[in-house]
Structure formats: C-alpha cells, structure tokens
Structure 1
Amino acid sequence: MVEARSDLFCKSSGSVSLEEYQALIKETDRFHDDSFTPIIFGLFGEVGSIMSASKKYQRETKAYIGYKEAVEEEFGDALWYYTALCRRLSESISELFYAAVDDQSSGVIAACDHENAPLSQLMTAKYLENLDCSLLSLGAVTAEMLKIDDFKKIKKETLVDFARVYLQALQSTDLSFARIIKGNVRKAFGRFSNPRIDDLPDFDLEFPEEEQLPRKFEIEITERKNGRSYMRWNGVFIGSSLADNIKDPDGYRFHDVFHFAHAAILHWSPTFRALIKQKRKSNPLFDETQDSGRAIVVEEGLTAWIFSYAKDVDYFNGHDSISFDVLKTIEKFIRGYEVEKCPLKLWENAILQAYDVFRKIKENNGGIVIGDRDSRTLTFRSIGGKNDD
C-alpha cells in the first residue's frame, strides 16, 4: 500500500532516493496531469515563501520562533511543485540533480541526511555562497519559467538551472536535504492521503475497558424551553446544561458534538473522558498529561477556535475539504499530546463529519449523535426517527 511505503520512507534513516521520492509524491498530486499553470504558480509562491522566511529570520533572529522548521517546510513544498512539474514534462529529478552538480557517475542519486551536504555525492561546500545571493538566484530562475508562453515547452536546461540554485540555497541554509524530503512526504501524505483504519493509532486500546472511550455510543441531545441543551447517555444525564453564551445565538450550546467526533474518529477527547468519568487513572502519567485539566483546555480552546472559523464558512456546509492553514494551526494546538499522531487528513474527516451532524442537531434543536470508533464515523438520528446518513 502507498501509505505503508510512505511511512517506511519517512522513518528510514540515512540518505533518501530522489527516484523514490518522485514516485511516492505522485500519489499526493491532486492536479490534472495536463495542469501546468497552478504548478508553476505554486512553485513560484513557495520560492517566495522561502525568501520571506529567510527575511524574517535575518530581521528578528531569535524572536522568529520555528525558523528552521518553517524554512524546511518551504524548501519541501518548493521541491514538491518542482517534482510535479518535472513529472508532467517526463523528466527525472534524479537525472536533473545529477546534471546540476556535473556528476557523471551512475547509480541512484540521494539526498544526504547530513546538514550542509544536500546530495550524497556532494560532501563539501562546493557551491556554498551568501544566502541572499542564493535566494535571489532561486527567485530569478523561477521567474524565468513564468515568462515562457507555453509551460509545456520549458527546457531541460531551465530545470537543471533550478536544481542547481536550489542546492546552492539549500547549502547556504545549512539544512539537511533528507530531512526536508522526509518532512515533505509526511506532510503530503498526512494531508492528502486517506489513511487506512488499521494503520491509525488507538490511544486507549491497552487500558482496561472501564478506562476506554466507548467503542460505540449514542448520546441524546435535547433543547428545553429555556434555550439550554441537555445530554443523556445510557439514560443518564451527563455534563451541564449549556447555552450559547453569546449575544447572537449560533448553536454553540450543541458544541459537545465536536468532542464526540474527536472521540469517535480520532479516538481522543479528554473532555468526553471527563464527562463520562473514564479517565486512564491506572497510569498516573496518562491521567496527568493526557486526560486532565490542560489537555481539556486545549481541546476546548481548539473547538472554540474552529467554531469561530466555521461560522464564516456556513459551518462547512457543502465543503469537502478544510483549509490547509486551519489544519496547520490545529497541528500547533495539539503539539505534545497523543493526538498529534493522527494525520491531518483524519482531522479533516473528523471536522467535516462533526459539522455535518452539528448542522442537523442545530436545525432540529436536538437529536441523537451516534459514534462508532471501529468505523471512525459520527452520524445523526432524529429523536424517534431513523438514522440520517
């Protein structure tokens, strides 16, 4: 399976084959094979992002937190678009990088995992030069591609020029080429590839049943005349009654739906665990670091932030994807917690399923939320009615 190969690729140590990278990354390319314009624009944009990140670092030095990670990500994204372009032009990036370093040897070219040594054949700072000069050259050669009337006619020499200045810029930043490539594969597959259920983490499987989130659950949500929502699970009321707590009603009183989605689809929800009193107390470390106050605050804060965003996009009605910027912000929110092991594509699935149920709950002023951890789904059923898939 592609997912398994990409996982091994990311975990492997040592140098990375550019041929394998080009073959793998094809699986994450959602553009049509004849689409050149968005690829060129994307490449130009990512090169600009590299230059922007470098500018921020030079201006703010230590105040610019995460500079290295940001530049690594932008270099990886630029390589992704470059590779997508080369594939459309039937060019091998391995051969292009060979040509870029004037290497006539045979074999498989690879990205080295040592810093300041982008290729395994290039173990010295042969092309090392001023970072600003390298980045200006990278921007210039990318801009030349924009001037070509027919992108299908981009010459091999131009692609080799890009590979050469890309390596020069990379060496000038003292970054590991292999680390950049591995990070880009993780990002691309985590964002675009539908994960196999069997490959996804199950965070409480090794704990006693009474400390696990329920594998299947049905929770009834009702609204009373006072405008507050109430929840009942297995005939017992759970949690507190909720109001929207805002001047203009927006349905946030039903926001526990999002925690239920986290539990069913991500197999994570410290808030839901607290509601049903199924924290993992048999392991004090998990109880303290994954199931207690701070983790609950993180989930509640993240839920409120996504809700504020969702209000501006009609609660994701009609959407089949989530902005990558939103997903990257989520990634920062959950850093350090077990759920960070879930790919961003799974987060996207959780959000879209959650808001589909939320809209129906809001429309009906209540309903039954059905969670199934085995299938990683969340569905809605009207009270006294049939499932609404």
Structure 2
Amino acid sequence: MGEKTLSTHISLTDYENAVAPTDRFATSDVTPILLGLFGEVGSVMSTSKKFHREKSAFTGYRQDVEEELGDTLWYVAALCRRLEISLSDVFAEVVESEGFSICVTANGDPGGPLAKVLNISELAPLDAILMRMGKQSASLLDLKSGSLEAKPLLLEFIRTYIEALQASKVSFVAVLDRNIEKVRGRFLSPSPQELPDFDAGFPEEEQLPRKFEIEITQRADGRSYLRWNRVFIGDPLSDNIGDPDGYRFHDVFHFANAAILHWSPTFRALIKHKRKSKKDIDEAQDSGRAIVVDEGLSAYIFSYAKSLNFFEDQRGVSFDLLKAIQNFVQGYEVEQCPLHLWESAIIQGYDVFRQMRENEGGIVIGDRHARTLRYKPLGGEI
C-alpha cells in the first residue's frame, strides 16, 4: 500500500474542530488533561532518548516524533478548550512576539496562493528544548481551570513546542494530519460510507461471503472441526500448548476480521475465495505472507488477551495494543481500517470465542453488511 498523501496545509482551527469530538474527558475537569500533557511531553523526551541510544537503528524515529508531538498538541487543544481560549489565537499571539523570522512563500492551496513561513531565529539544540518543555509541562500541573496564570504559562509552552517542531525537523502538517487520523479513527464510530470494501469490483466467487454461518465442533480427540455450507474446511486444530487455553477455536478471530474488517486472507484461503482475477491483489493481499500476518496477528492478540481473561466484561481494548496492530499490518489493505473498527472486531470476536470455548463448539454467524459476529449454540437458538 502507498504512503498516505498529506494535506497541503491545515489550519489550527480546522485541527481543533476535527479533534474536539474525540475529547471524552469531563469539560469541568482539567486535571486529566494536565496529566496527559505531562505524560506526552515525557513520551517525546523518551523518543529522543531512544534516538541517542540506538542512532540509525531507531528507524521509526521520525514517525514516533510526529505521533508524540501530535498527541502533545491534542492535550494542548483540550486545555485551551477548558480555558475557553482558541488554540489558533494562542499560536497567533506567540508567533507575533519577538524571535521569529518571517518569509512570504507560495502556497500549494489554490484558494490561498501566499503563506507566511515563520522560524525561530535562534534555535537551541533539541535536547535543551525538550528539557525546557518538560519543566514547563510540570509547571502547568499546578494550574486550576480558570486560573489567571494559565495563559502566560500556556504561551510559554507553545513557544517551546514550536521550537521542538523546528528542531525535530518534522512536518507540522504531518503531525496534525496523522493525529487527526489517529484520534478520530480510535474514538469515533466510522460512517459505513467511509469504510473500505476490499471485495468491491470482484466476482462473487472471489469475495468473502456477505453473510455466513460456520459450524465449529469439538470431537473426542480434543480437536476442533470447521464446516461451512455442510462442507468441512481447513484442518482439525488442537491448542498446541501444554496448558489448554482454547486456541483450537481461534478461527473465530479470522471470521470476526472477515465480518467486521472485510479482511481475512486466512478465511479466503479456507473457502478458496482468493481474488485471482487480479494477480497483484492475489499475490500481495491474499497469499502466503498476508496469511502469515493474519495468523501472526491472531496469535499476538491472543497472548495479550489471555492475561485479561480474554477481554471478558471489557468494552474496549488498550490504545497500545491497537497501535501495535496498526504497525503489524502496515503495507496491507487492512491498514485502511480505523482503530475503532479493529477494536470492534476484537471485542466481538472474543465474545464469540469465550462462548465457543465454554460450550466446546457452536455456530459463528457473520454479517458483513452489519459488521457483526454472533454466537449460536449447536442445535439451539441465538
């Protein structure tokens, strides 16, 4: 898959409006926002430390800096919201102060042919800037909502933030673009019209079924067997571990991916619905390596879920797990799916898995139109 095309420019007002719906904290409570800001500044400093330690071996440095600076700005915007001041106005006040050099440049947006480029005239080394940012974020911890001291401290912090952007040599557009995509994809339910359908344009025999029922039975040998449309598919599975944990039913997770993400190279291979009419899609998205990614991801999430009682009584999963998944599937079509959709696939998949494990079998009912996965007992009602 190609690299996402970045915007030519993003106004801070547009950024603030885009991320505001993802703010789930109480509007009257500033404490979690200040704690979050302090934590994100620490993450930026940690990324810089890793770069010092690992040098060229830290290949994800730029991407990590963009992400952490984006998360930092999210908390700055949230703080501005609680102080009832505009993020854009605060930035404007900072750049109108001394110490900036200004250059008028051509802009890539036809609606605004000219733009001002502002740079800090005398820039300290990045480490010194980050140390100062850390001290400023610590000072902000003492703020109370509505404090008269809030704005001067915030202006000082934002000036240092701009210095950190410039010293890090990252694109501010990339920082904003990626943060908008990340937080909206994580916290907002996607519109069905905005979600990808990886089967669009392919013949029916090459598509994942829009609706399906898969029967999973366990025999006396402890192995699980799959049957679709009255035909056995795949190989019988055991847990393949000394301490039985139910992994013999892990195909449920592939069915969840198919129903909710519209993606599962493993399921395609099981029912022989690979998209062979387009050789590049068949080889890159439906064949060996993609299947390994699908299976590897299933095993990785399972190891994580096992220590959490397989997500029982949980309505969500950790952001760190979702980010790890996002990294895991880079280069494959499913990377287009927002994190919120991944979370839904995991929660629904493990709900069915727990019932399957408890009853030693059952029927998986998938509906790609509704993006749902359900469990039905063998010979019983839903």
Q: Secondary structure at the match of 1:231?
A: strand
Q: Is residue 166 of structure 2 the alignment partner of residue 184 of structure 1?
A: no
The residue aligned with 1:77 is: 71
For the aligned residues, what is the CA RMSD? Answer: 1.6
Matched letter for residue 201 of structure 1:
P
Aligned residues: 364
CA distance in 2, matches of 1:203, 1:14: 28
Residues 69-108 of structure 1 correspond to what in structure 2 (within 5 A)?
A: 69-102=63-96
Moved over 3 A (4+): 120-125
Spell out, residue by residue over 1:239-277, the C-alpha distance to the aligned partner (whole angstroms, 9 max, x if none): 111111111111111100000001111111000011001
Give 1:178 deviation, angstroms.
1.4
Q: Give structure 2 stretches of 5+ with no counterpart.
A: 99-106, 109-114
TM-fit CA distance, 1:23: 1.6
- Which residue in 1 is equivalent to 2:169? 174
- 1:231 aligns with 226
Distance 1:366 1:281 in 2: 33
Asked whether the equivalents of residues 196 and 337 of structure 2 are also in contact (C-alpha less than 8 Å), the reply is yes
- Answer whether contact 1:257 1:358 (CA < 8 A) is retained: yes
Aligned to 1:156: 151
Cα offset, 1:25, TM superposition: 1.0
CA distance in 2, matches of 1:140, 1:159: 12
Q: Percent identity?
A: 56
**Which residue among 348, 359, 377 is the counterpart of 1:382?**
377
Secondary structure of the residue aligned to 1:123 is strand
Q: Residues of 1 paired with 2:175 and 2:270: CA distance?
A: 41
> TM-score with structure 2 length normalisation?
0.92
Alpha-carbon separation, structure 2, partners of 1:192 and 1:124 = 34
Per the alignment, residue 103 of structure 2 pairs with none
Within the candidate set 278, 288, 292, 1:293 is matched to: 288
TM-score normalised by L of structure 1: 0.90
Q: Distance in 2 between matches of 1:160 and 1:199?
A: 37
Q: Are 1:261 and 1:350, in contact at CA under 8 Å, matched by a contact in 2?
A: yes
- 1:319-330 counterparts in 2 under 5 A? 319-330=314-325
**Where does residue 213 of structure 2 map in the other structure?**
218
Q: Does residue 1:197 correspond to 2:153, yes or no?
A: no
Q: Which of 110, 119, 126 pairs up with 2:121?
A: 126
Q: Conserved in 1, the CA contact under 8 Å of 2:67 and 2:175?
A: yes
The 1-side partners of 2:280 and 2:345 are apart by: 27
Alignment partner, residue 352 of structure 1: 347
Gaps in structure 1 of 5+ consecutive residues: 1-9, 105-111, 114-119
One-letter amino acid of the counterpart of residue 66, structure 2: E
* CA deviation after TM superposition for structure 1 residue 93, in Å: 1.0
Equivalent of 2:19 in 8, 11, 25: 25
Provide the C-alpha distance between the structure 1 equivalents of 2:269 and 2:39, rounded to a whole number of angstroms. Answer: 44
Aligned twin of 1:68: 62
Change (3 A) 1:11 1:193: farther
Q: Secondary structure at the match of 1:75?
A: helix
Q: Distance in 2 between matches of 1:386 and 1:82?
A: 51
